[in-house]
């Protein structure tokens, strides 16, 4: 064999080994896997525009003996799905649907519309950057269910993370062609618990996982995320005062009567907090300057409050109904359109959803989950562990969110004590406009999105797509006009 030919063969085999250690091409799938995938294939939803990418939806069992199954909706990337990473998106609550918020009102391809039995294609869907997977988690949320009623009473962070991990292992067995893709997780709000906890499980289990169950996990990104009880609560009150939402007296009362490190607030503290939350009955806590939904028949308007969910963090504010108020977006009534669409029998049939005839309607946030068993007061030890473990970690914050405001997140990240690599720097979008600011820590990137509320992709779709593209590519956002 001549030297030139030998070199060519070495390069070919080396490239194959590095790029496809577990790659399974669609043409190599066995008959059973193909049958399962085809059973989950969504051919076309009612009112859906014509698209060129594939989508799948259905159930993955996470506990056979209990009859626990999680519902997912998966979209291949709009172009070149075989070359793009896989991104799992999780919404929070706890008890709220990633399909209701993430897919239908934030970053998915299809948005329900007002007064029309049609879906609108979202030009800024994150499936332009990645293969996109939405999961309704834990059981009891959306279409996800259990045949063992006691499971609902045992829910908490630990079970949510374990079930989500089991879901992923089983989902990759159903879709082995995506196992070799780089895998990332993103989410917002209470997903500040879900995402790092699931990331830690993957990180730890990967050390001893067989090749069949190994997940090619690279990092995670969380937005307006609940991370630390003390700083999250301090930041909420400071932000409300800084933005002229509460009076000097209410601010002074909360600061003097409440100890944000104490999980058992006094009556005086609760009275002060009641006054603090009163203002968020008339304006949208999740986006201070957005209108509220005032349509007479609105069932999920911005001022409606969910039942108190006892046991969740932060323990001080979990006693206040306002903690669980449903967020809204540019159209403050968008959640109404989603709820109407997802409860249509023809839509559920097309999605292979509600096969067991769940005895309650689909809702954005579960009315059946009223207790949460475990919720650590701080997620920072997990963040620090995963940063030290070499995972890519980005945290972002829409800066007009009053629920988990940028003030809170800055105080929280300060607690990590990470070295600053690049100081507070503007980043640009639309070539000329400042999209927000970044600060690069040793192992963690923090990004603000100017003018965005709690659900950043809803309020700033162009900027959020730019954000996720840079995160996935591990590139800094542009620090000047371009």
Positions marked active-site: 189, 401, 454
325, 301 in Cβ contact below 8 A?
no
Residues 6+ apart with CB under 8 A from 64: none
Q: CA-CA distance, 187 to 225, in Å (whole number)?
A: 8
Rounded alpha-carbon distances, angstroms, from residue 209 to 135, 161, 215, 472 = 23, 17, 9, 24
SS3 (DSSP) at 447: strand
Rounded alpha-carbon distances, angstroms, from residue 442 to 346, 415, 418, 419, 447 = 50, 14, 6, 5, 14
120, 113 in Cβ contact below 8 A?
yes
Own/partner pairs, 428-434, CB within 8 angstroms, 24+ separation: 428/477, 428/478, 428/479, 428/480, 428/481, 428/482, 429/462, 429/463, 429/466, 430/462, 431/481, 431/482, 432/481
Which two tokens mark 333?
């009534």
Q: Would you list the DSSP string of 206-268?
A: TTT--TTT---EEEEEEEEE--BHHHHHHHHHHHHHHTTSS-HHHHHHHHHH--TT-SS--HH
Ranges of beta strands (E only) in 15-92 are 55-63, 68-75, 86-90
**Closest to 121 in 3D by CA, of 103, 98, 96:** 103
Q: CA-CA distance, 175 to 11, in Å (whole number)?
A: 29
- Beta-bridge partner residues of 378: 228
Rounded alpha-carbon distances, angstroms, from residue 438 to 76, 152, 298, 457 = 30, 40, 38, 18
**Closest to 370 in 3D by CA, of 155, 193, 98:** 155
Q: Which residue has the tokens 């009612």?
A: 46
């Amino acid at each position: 064999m001549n030297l030139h030919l030998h070199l060519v063969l070495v390069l070919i085999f080396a490239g194959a080994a590095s790029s496809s250690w577990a790659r399974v091409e669609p043409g190599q799938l066995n008959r059973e896997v193909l049958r399962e995938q085809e059973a989950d294939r969504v051919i076309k939803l009612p009112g859906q525009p014509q698209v060129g990418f594939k989508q799948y939806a259905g159930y993955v069992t996470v506990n056979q003996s209990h009859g626990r199954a999680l519902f997912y909706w998966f979209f291949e990337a709009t172009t070149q799905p075989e070359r793009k990473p896989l991104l799992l998106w999780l919404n929070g609550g706890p008890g709220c649907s990633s399909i209701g918020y993430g897919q239908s009102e934030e970053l998915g391809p299809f948005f329900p519309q007002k007064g029309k039995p049609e879906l609108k294609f979202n030009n800024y869907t994150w499936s332009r950057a990645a293969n996109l997977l939405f999961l309704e988690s834990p059981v009891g949320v959306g279409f996800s269910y259990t045949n063992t009623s006691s499971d609902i009473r045992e829910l908490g962070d630990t079970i949510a993370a374990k079930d989500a991990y089991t879901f992923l292992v089983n989902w990759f067995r159903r879709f082995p062609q995506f196992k070799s893709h780089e895998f990332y997780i993103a989410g917002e709000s209470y997903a500040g618990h879900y995402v790092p906890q699931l990331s830690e499980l993957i990180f730890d289990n990967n050390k001893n996982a067989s090749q069949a169950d190994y997940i090619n996990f690279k990092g995670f990104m969380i937005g307006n995320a609940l991370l630390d009880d003390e700083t999250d609560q301090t930041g909420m009150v400071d932000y409300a005062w800084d933005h002229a939402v509460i009076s000097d007296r209410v601010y002074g009362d909360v600061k003097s009567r409440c100890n944000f490190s104490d999980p058992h607030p006094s009556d005086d503290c609760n009275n002060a907090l009641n006054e603090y939350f009163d203002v968020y009955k008339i304006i949208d806590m999740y986006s201070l300057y957005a209108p509220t939904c005032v349509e007479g028949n609105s069932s999920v308007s911005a001022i409606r409050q969910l039942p108190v969910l006892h046991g969740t963090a932060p323990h001080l504010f979990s006693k206040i109904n306002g903690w669980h108020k449903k967020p809204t977006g540019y159209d403050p009534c968008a959640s109404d359109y989603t709820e109407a669409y997802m409860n249509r029998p023809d839509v559920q049939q097309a999605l292979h959803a509600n096969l067991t005839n769940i005895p309650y309607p689909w809702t954005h946030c579960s009315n059946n989950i009223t207790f949460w068993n475990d919720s650590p007061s701080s997620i920072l030890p997990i963040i620090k562990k995963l940063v030290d473990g070499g995972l890519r970690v980005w945290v972002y914050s829409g800066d007009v969110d009053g629920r988990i405001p940028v003030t809170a997140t800055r105080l929280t990240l300060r607690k990590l004590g990470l070295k600053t690599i690049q100081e507070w720097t503007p980043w640009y979008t639309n070539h000329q406009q400042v999209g927000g600011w970044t600060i690069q820590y040793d192992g963690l990137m923090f990004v603000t999105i100017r003018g965005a509320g709690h659900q950043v992709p809803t309020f700033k779709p162009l900027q959020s797509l730019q954000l996720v593209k840079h995160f996935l590519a591990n590139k800094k956002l542009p620090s000047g006009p371009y």
